[in-house]
Amino acid sequence: TLRTEERQRLARERREEREKQHAAKETQILEKERKAKLQYEKQLEERQRKLKEQKQKEEQRRAAVEEKRKQKIEEEKERYEAVMHRTLERNQRLETRQKRWSWGGSVTPESESKPALLSSGSKRSTSTANLKQTEAGITKRLSSSAALLNASDRARRSQLSPLDSSVISRLLAPTQASLARSKSAATLSAD
């Protein structure tokens, strides 16, 4: 009986030991599962946080792009309005100038009431007539001064030797060229 009791006690101790080990293993497994679950939840929260941040950044970027686009449209609108304003001012100044001055000199009430009747052809003909009058005056002055030069030149040449006379005539040639240049310059300035 002692031997039987000893065996039973040893068997009970072994069983209790096995149960303790089994309980310890179960505890370890449960702890591992709990840790894994916590880690998974933490990772899930981190991922959701990152997605949320990324979404916020994307929305901020979109808002910034939209704001920039609106600002650019506003600037273009302001620039366009400024250009239109300048153009209108320029046109008004030109109209005022055209009302103030005309091709004939001062504006008469008749010419103010009929500005459309002045065509480019009539303007050209008026300016051409003015030019011809100016040119005629210049030509008269030049021809009279050339005649005086030729008369005094002839008088001098009669007193000079043939050699001196040819030298003087050669020297007078640039003077006639300069007269022609001044004539063309006067014509251009009158134009």
Model confidence pLDDT, tens digit, residues 18-42: 999 999 999 999 999 999 999 999 9
Q: What pLDDT does residue 94 have?
A: 85
3-state secondary structure 145-174: HHHHHHHHHHHHHHHCCHHHHHHHHHHHHH
Please list, residue by residue across 14-29, b when 16 or more beta carbons sit within 10 angstroms of its beta carbon and e when fewer do: eeeeeeeeeeeeeeee
User: Structure pTM?
Assistant: 0.33
- Amino acid letter for position 12: R
CA 62 to chain centre: 27
**Higher pLDDT among residues 101 and 140, named by residue:** 101
Once rounded to an integer, what is the mean pLDDT over residues 50-61? 96
Confidence of residue 96 (pLDDT cuts 50, 70, 90): confident
**Higher pLDDT among residues 162 and 130, named by residue:** 162
Q: Measure the CA–CA gap between 51 and 36, rounded to whole angstroms.
A: 22
Greatest alpha-carbon span in the chain = 184
Once rounded to an integer, what is the mean pLDDT over residues 152-180? 64
Give the closest residue to 190 by CA, choosing from 131, 136, 133, 125.
131
Contact 138/186 with Cβ under 8 angstroms?
yes
Structure tokens of 95?
A: 């109209």
pLDDT at residue 64 is higher than 80: yes
